[in-house]
Amino acid sequence: MARAATTSDVFNAIAEPRRREILTLLRTGERPVAQLALELGLPQPGASKHLRVLREVGLVRDRREGKQRVYGLDAGGLRAVHEWTGGFERFWNESFDRLDAYVQELKQERQGSSER
């Protein structure tokens, strides 16, 4: 089956490291595209291209502020990613719980053998 285009799928869009960097930067607040480009070390057209993809999949929103376009995070678009990764969070929590129970067992065995 063919892979979805990056402009229609959140998972493919965030697979690109620069796009994840943009989302990380936008967590702290809105930024003009020129500032994002500077912080990323990209030419403005390159930053704009990544921002367009993120906007099309619903991860960022933009607005005009004078002659600038300002971008902000739209975290609601990450809901599908959050829900998908939630299953793995449960897996890891259960794994750590089992590991903790095993460590406690070993401690009790060690205490029991040292008391003899």
pLDDT for res 6: 54
Would you say the pTM of this structure is higher than 0.75? Answer: no
pLDDT for res 66: 92
d(CA 25, CA 12): 19
Do 62 and 19 fall within a single domain?
A: yes
Range of the domain at 108: 78-114
Do 51 and 91 fall within a single domain?
A: no
| Confidence band, pLDDT 50/70/90 cuts, at residue 63 | very high
Least confident piece of the model among 18-22, 90-94, 111-115: 111-115
Do 54 and 105 fall within a single domain?
A: no
pLDDT for res 17: 96
